[in-house]
Amino acid sequence: MVELKPMSVTASELPVSGIRRFFDVAAQMHDVISLGVGEPDFFTPWSIREAAIYSLERGQTTYTSNHGLLELRREIVKHIKKHYGVSYKADDEVLVTVGVSEGLDLAMRTLLDPGDEVLVPEPCYVSYKPCITLAGGRPIGVETTAAENFRITPAALEKHLTPRTKAILLGYPSNPTGATMPGPQMQEIVDFAVKHGLYLISDEIYDRLTYDGVHTCVSSLKGARERTILLNGFSKAYAMTGWRIGYVCAPREIVSIMTRIHSYTMLCAPTLGQKAALEALKTGEPEVVDMVAQYGQRRRLIVDGLNKIGLKCHMPEGAFYAFPSIASTGLTSEEFAEKLLYQERVAVVPGTAFGAGGQGHIRCSYATAIDKIEAALLRMKTFVESLAVKAS
Ligand X SMILES: Cc1ncc(COP(=O)(O)O)c(C=O)c1O
- Which of the stretches 97-105, 215-223, 252-260, 373-381 binds ligand X when contact is defined by CB under 6 A? 97-105
- Bridge-based pairing of strands 117-122 and 138-143 is parallel
What character string, x for contact with ligand X (CB under 6 A) and - otherwise, covers 110-149?
---------------x------------------------
Shortest distance (Å) from residue 59 CB to ligand X: 27
Identify the residue among 17, 185, 241, 359 touching ligand X (CB under 6 A): 241
Least CB distance to ligand X at residue 387 (A)? 30
The minimum distance between CB 388 and ligand X, in angstroms, equals 33
Q: Is 68 in the site for ligand X (CB under 6 A)?
A: no
Please give the Cα distance from 324 to 360 (Å, whole number).
8
For residue 246, state whether it binds ligand X (rule: CB under 6 A).
yes
Q: What distance lies between CA 348 and its chain's CA centroid?
A: 17
Decide: is 332 part of the binding site for ligand X (CB under 6 A): no
Does 355 bind ligand X (CB under 6 A)? Our answer is no
Q: Considering only residues 75, 105, 203, 279, which one is a binding residue for ligand X as defined by CB under 6 A?
A: 203
Establish if 175 lies at the interface with ligand X (CB under 6 A): yes
Residue whose CB is less far from ligand X, 161 or 291: 291
Choices 98-106, 147-155, 265-273, 347-355 (CB under 6 A): range interacting with ligand X: 98-106
Of the two residues 125 and 192, which places its CB atom closer to ligand X in the complex?
125
How many residues bind ligand X (CB under 6 A)? The answer is 13
- Are 151 and 181 contacting, i.e. CB atoms less than 8 angstroms apart? yes
Distance separating alpha carbons of residues 386 and 180, to the nearest angstrom: 34
Residue 123: CB minimum distance to ligand X, A: 11
Q: What angle do CA 283, 289, 292 make, to 5 degrees?
A: 135
Q: Which is nearer to ligand X, 246 or 316 (CB)?
A: 246
Nearest distance from C-beta of residue 232 to ligand X, angstroms: 8
For the chain, the first-to-last Cα distance in angstroms comes to 63
Options 171, 350, 351, 357; binder of ligand X; rule CB under 6 A: 171
Is residue 100 near ligand X by the rule CB under 6 A?
Answer: yes
Asked if 38 interacts with ligand X (CB under 6 A), we say: yes
- Is residue 205 at the binding interface for ligand X, with CB under 6 A as the rule? yes
- Which of 241, 263 has the CB closer to ligand X? 241
- At 190, the amino acid letter reads V
| Piece in contact with ligand X (CB under 6 A), picked from 99-107, 130-138, 281-289, 343-351 | 99-107
Q: Does 271 bind ligand X (CB under 6 A)?
A: no
Closest to ligand X by CB, 235 vs 333, is 235
From 93-101, 302-310, 329-337, 379-387, span contacting ligand X (CB under 6 A): 93-101
CA atoms within 13 A of residue 287's CA, in its CB half-sphere? 21
User: What residue is closest to ligand X based on CB?
Assistant: 99
99 binds ligand X (CB under 6 A): yes
User: Least distance in Å: CB of 259 to ligand X?
Assistant: 18
Binding site for ligand X (CB under 6 A): 38, 99-101, 125, 171, 175, 203, 205, 233, 235, 241, 246
